[in-house]
């Protein structure tokens, strides 16, 4: 124990330009800390993260005044890596570092003497832990220069192309018989008016010309094992099953269009009530113009079309009827407003005689160049009506022989008067629902939101990443988005995949469990407690000429949770960087302060 | 309750240059109108958009309160020309008054 008490801890306390020093008496803290056991140096600086601040640490390390470092400043999520980097530049091991957060946990929430006292306590605990820190080496795992993209829609294809362009082999696994996903169902894309099929043809040509992309259509991933850099996927084809070894996985499992239930706005009851995808398909199949000048559907001229927004989106508990599984789609599907107006414009510009009534709850053609769709629709004499969620339009059989259907609407734009809209065709702007990947998500331990879309770690700090290392996501499996946005997300996921795999080696934080072979008796309690399958197992090893059973950690898979350390009766397993004796010293220091 | 008639927009063309469908229901015309009538002239423009012919004839007396000062046309952000449309509606009403 004496040896550890020889450790020379340097404590560096930050003013954060007043953020901390306005509430914490930083110099008083420094005076108290200086007298603490093991503290060799205690210094303050206006900004520890600045170059002069970092130089303080580097100089003291180089001159041998200190061999352990504590910085008391902001949250470690912001600058822990900054200070580890400074220590590395001084030629020392970056893991002899401990952080005390005296901004978010002190100066931003406490004031006056209690703030100064709490800062002192946190720093004394950090200094006590620092004395017990040992140098660690990052875990290096070999990474296979190969990626699997699950889903062959536009997001999947685009990320596969980008990954392949960077010299990494890619396999695309697509559930259906062909690539292209939902783009196969779209016609002219908003706002540019390009044909989805032209874009798809161009991009599929590139995929076929790329030798490093393998395509598996009609295949599903049934299970995923392994860890970052070394995954194994079980893939089930129509006739055979096989395995793929890969370094990283991109989830691009996409979405489907909401299917209205029987009777929702007359869907399924009247053949003249159709969904937006059905209309888009009809527009694709239709002649550019007709002799009558009307748009024709099912061989019949269409004089009036009513289009109803927000079908299967923005549903409100208590107003909308949930699905059998209790599901309500409370989110906005975002793309339908533009899609409806895009279809309305195509109709009006090709079949001028056909009248379009657009019934919205709210309308927003978000995105660059898309507001013009509304202006165009207005110029094309589309009539807009507005309904409220608690007074939805109803679709009924018409009481007159002129039209098959009547849409009854309480129109907010006509001062909430009840209106009867005669219609030949009613189009429901159905929203976006994520493809059902619940089985795969639970097998891979991927987080899923209550809206059933997959969840990234953080939209700004770690976009398109999952908490499971080596797994990324792209496209509408994450949220409703249009084809352009799906491609953006695909590019981001591809860039992160390439950055991860390009070196062939991945460095992971060394904060994982380690077994002390002198103490381990092979009870196996730790294996039972372990929450990560494959991270901990019992193996037979040779010790002193005898075969004994002991626990063994697969460092790359260990999550560093410490569940094993808590249950070991021999205290034979511990967590690097967060060891039990470090905690004990921290508690002692807190009590003493 | 009215049944909307989307052909009315065509019908009105014989009485004025019909720009009613350029309107996006912002209400600026009503806000600047010196008459203190509720929602005039916006309500009339809206009735044209949806083809609520009966509602226009029922409320025709409102049209004759208009002073034709031109403030609505001057301030309309969509160049829907409400003043001209109100004038056209008067002609329409005269042509259709008690016809049925």
3-state class of B90 per DSSP?
helix
B61 lies in some domain: yes
Measured distance CA(A447)–CA(A457) in Å, rounded: 9
Q: How far is CA B70 from the centre of its chain?
A: 14
Using CA atoms, how far residue A479 sits from A108, A361, A382, A456, in Å, is 34, 21, 29, 10
**Cβ–Cβ < 8 Å for A122, A105:** yes
Q: Which residue has the higher pLDDT, A451 or B36?
A: A451
Distance separating alpha carbons of residues A521 and A151, to the nearest angstrom = 47
Q: Which of A379, A381, A414 sits opposite B50 (nearest CB)?
A: A414
Q: Which residue has the tokens 């990234």?
A: A456
pLDDT at res. A256: 97
The predicted structure's pLDDT at residue A2: 43
| Residues across chain B | 100
Pull the structure tokens for residue A345.
């414009």
Which of B39, B43, B49 shows the shortest C-beta gap to A383?
A: B49
Q: What's the pLDDT score for residue A5?
A: 57
Contact A378 B21 (CB under 8 A): yes
Token representation of residue B80: 């829907």
The predicted structure's pLDDT at residue A261:
94
For B44, name the nearest residue in chain A, comparing CA atoms only: A414
- The B residues from 13 to 72 touching A (CB cutoff 8 Å) are 21-22, 24-25, 39, 43, 46-47, 49-50, 52, 55
For residue B52, the chain A residues in CB contact (below 8 A) are 414, 417, 419
Q: Which of A201, A12, A173, A26 is nearest to A98 (CA)?
A: A12
Tokens of B51: 């083809």
User: Which one of A355, A385, A420 has the shortest CB-CB distance to B3?
Assistant: A420
List the end-to-end C-alpha distance of chain B, in Å, as a whole number: 19
B1 occurs within a structural domain:
no
Does B2 reside within a domain? no
Spell out the per-residue pLDDT of chain A, length 593, in tens.
Answer: 445 557 899 999 999 999 999 999 999 999 999 999 999 999 999 999 999 999 999 999 999 999 999 999 999 987 999 999 999 999 999 999 999 999 999 999 999 999 999 999 999 999 999 999 999 999 999 999 999 999 999 999 999 999 999 999 999 999 999 999 999 999 999 999 999 999 999 999 999 999 999 999 999 999 999 999 999 999 999 999 999 999 999 999 999 999 999 999 999 999 999 999 999 999 999 988 888 889 999 999 999 999 999 999 999 999 998 888 889 999 999 999 999 999 999 999 999 999 999 999 999 999 999 999 999 999 999 999 999 999 999 999 999 899 999 999 999 999 999 999 999 999 999 999 999 999 999 999 999 999 999 999 989 889 999 999 999 999 999 999 999 999 999 999 999 999 999 999 999 889 999 999 999 999 999 999 999 888 999 999 998 889 999 999 999 889 899 999 999 999 999 999 999 999 999 999 999 98
- Is A149 in a helix, a strand, or coil? strand
Sign of CA dihedral A166, A168, A169, A171: negative
Task: Give the model's pLDDT for residue A375.
Answer: 93
3-state secondary structure of A119: helix
pLDDT of the residue at A1: 41
Residues 6+ apart with CB under 8 A from B100: none
Q: What is the pLDDT of residues B44-72, one digit of tens each?
A: 999 999 999 989 999 999 999 999 999 99
CA distance A87 to A558: 26
Q: What own/partner pairs with CB < 8 Å and gap ≥ 24 does A45-53 have?
A: A45/A12, A45/A13, A45/A14, A45/A15, A46/A14, A46/A15, A46/A17, A47/A14, A47/A15, A47/A16, A47/A17, A48/A12, A48/A13, A48/A14, A48/A73, A48/A79, A48/A83, A49/A14, A49/A73, A49/A79, A49/A82, A49/A83, A53/A12, A53/A14
Residue A219 three-state SS: coil
Walk me through the domains of chain A, giving residue ranges and CATH numbers: 1-136 (3.40.50), 146-254+435-505 (3.50.50.60), 264-432 (3.50.50.60), 512-575 (3.30.70.20)
For residue B42, give both structure tokens. Answer: 């916006």
B90 — contact with chain A (CB < 8 Å)? no
Going by C-beta distance under 8 Å and a sequence separation of 6 or more, which residues neighbour residue A32? Answer: A120
For residue B49, the enclosing domain spans: 8-96
Which residue has 């199949």 as its token pair?
A: A285
Domain membership flag for residue B75: yes
Q: What tokens appear for A456 in the block? A: 């990234």
Count of Cβ atoms closer than 10 Å to residue A411 Cβ: 24
Identify whether B21 is part of a domain. yes
C-beta of residue A470 within 8 angstroms of C-beta of residue A231? yes
Q: Which of A381, A414, A422 is opposite residue B3, by nearest beta carbon?
A: A422
DSSP assignment letter at A105: I
Domain annotation covers residue B23: yes
Q: What angle do CA A375, A381, A384 make, to 5 degrees?
A: 80
Chain A interface, mutation test: which of B18, B37, B39, B50, most A Cβ atoms within 10 Å? B50
Q: Evaluate whether residue B29 is within a structural domain.
A: yes
Q: Residue B99 pLDDT more than 70?
A: no
> Looking at the DSSP assignment, which residues form a beta bridge with residue A356?
A305
Q: Looking at the domain assignment, is residue B48 inside a domain?
A: yes
Number of domains making up chain B: 1
Interfacial residues of A (vs B; Cβ cutoff 8 Å)? 304, 355, 357, 378-379, 381, 383-385, 411, 413-415, 417-422
Please, are residues A339 and A276 in contact by the beta-carbon 8 Å criterion? yes
């Amino acid at each position: 124990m004496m040896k550890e008490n020889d450790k020379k801890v340097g404590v560096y306390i930050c003013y954060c330009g007043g953020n901390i020093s306005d509430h914490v008496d930083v110099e008083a803290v420094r005076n108290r800390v200086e007298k603490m056991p093991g503290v060799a140096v205690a210094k303050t600086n206006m900004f520890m993260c600045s170059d002069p601040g970092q130089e303080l640490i580097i100089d003291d390390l180089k001159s041998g005044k200190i061999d352990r470092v504590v910085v008391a400043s902001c949250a470690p999520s912001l600058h822990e890596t900054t200070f580890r980097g400074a220590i590395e530049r001084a030629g020392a091991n970056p893991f002899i570092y401990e952080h005390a957060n005296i901004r978010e946990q002190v100066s931003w929430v406490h004031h006056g003497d209690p703030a100064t006292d709490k800062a002192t306590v946190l720093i004394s605990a950090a200094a006590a832990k620092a004395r017990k820190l040992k140098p660690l080496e990052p875990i290096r795992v070999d990474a296979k220069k190969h990626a699997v993209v699950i889903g062959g829609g536009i997001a999947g294809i685009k990320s596969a192309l980008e990954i392949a362009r960077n010299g990494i082999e890619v396999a695309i696994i697509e559930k259906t018989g062909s690539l292209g996903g939902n783009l196969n169902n779209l016609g002219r894309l908003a706002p540019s008016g390009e044909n989805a099929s032209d874009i798809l043809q161009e991009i599929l040509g590139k995929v076929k010309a790329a030798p490093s992309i393998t395509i598996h259509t009609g295949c599903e991933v049934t299970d995923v094992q392994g860890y970052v850099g070394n995954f194994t996927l079980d893939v089930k084809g129509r006739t055979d099953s096989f395995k793929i070894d890969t370094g990283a996985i991109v989830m691009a499992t996409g979405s489907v269009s909401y299917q209205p239930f029987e009777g929702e706005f007359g869907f399924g009851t009247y053949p003249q009530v159709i969904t937006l995808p059905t209309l888009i398909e009809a527009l694709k199949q239709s002649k550019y113009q007709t002799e009558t000048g009307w748009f024709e559907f099912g061989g019949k001229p269409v004089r009036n079309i009513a289009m109803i927004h927000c079908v299967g989106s923005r549903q409100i508990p208590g107003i909308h009827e949930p699905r059998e599984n209790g599901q309500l789609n409370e989110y906005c599907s975002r793309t339908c407003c533009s899609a409806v107006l895009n279809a309305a414009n195509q109709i009006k510009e090709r079949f001028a005689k056909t009248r379009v009534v657009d019934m919205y709850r709210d309308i927003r053609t978000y995105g660059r160049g898309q507001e013009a769709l509304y202006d165009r629709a207005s110029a094309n004499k589309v009539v807009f009506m507005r309904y409220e969620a608690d007074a939805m339009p109803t679709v009924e059989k018409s009481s007159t022989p002129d039209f098959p259907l009547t849409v009854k609407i309480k129109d907010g734009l006509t001062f909430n008067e009840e209106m009867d809209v005669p219609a030949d065709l009613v189009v429901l702007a159905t929203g976006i629902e994520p493809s059902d990947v619940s089985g795969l998500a639970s097998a891979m331990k991927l987080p899923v939101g209550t809206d059933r879309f997959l969840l990234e770690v953080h939209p700004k700090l770690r976009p398109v990443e999952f908490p499971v290392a080596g797994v990324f996501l792209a496209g509408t499996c994450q949220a409703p988005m249009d084809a352009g946005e799906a491609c953006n997300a695909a590019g981001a996921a591809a860039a992160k995949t390439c950055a991860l795999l390009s070196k062939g080696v991945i460095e992971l934080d060394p904060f994982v469990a380690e077994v002390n072979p002198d103490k381990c008796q092979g009870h196996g309690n730790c294996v039972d407690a372990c929450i990560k399958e494959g991270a901990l197992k019992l193996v037979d090893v040779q010790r002193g000429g005898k075969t004994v059973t002991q626990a063994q950690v697969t460092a790359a898979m260990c999550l560093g949770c410490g569940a094993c350390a808590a249950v070991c009766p021999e205290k034979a397993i511990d967590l690097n960087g967060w060891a039990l004796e470090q905690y004990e010293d921290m508690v002692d220091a807190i009590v003493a302060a | 309750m009215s049944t909307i008639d989307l052909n009315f927009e065509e019908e009105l063309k014989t009485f004025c240059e019909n720009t009613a469908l350029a309107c996006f229901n912002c209400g600026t015309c009503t806000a600047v109108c010196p008459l203190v009538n509720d929602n005039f002239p916006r309500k009339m423009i809206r009735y044209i958009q949806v083809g609520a012919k009966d509602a226009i004839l029922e409320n025709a007396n409102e049209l004759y309160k208009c002073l034709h000062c031109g403030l609505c046309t001057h301030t309309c952000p969509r160049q829907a020309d409400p003043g001209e449309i109100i004038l056209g509606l008067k002609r329409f009403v005269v042509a259709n008054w008690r016809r049925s």
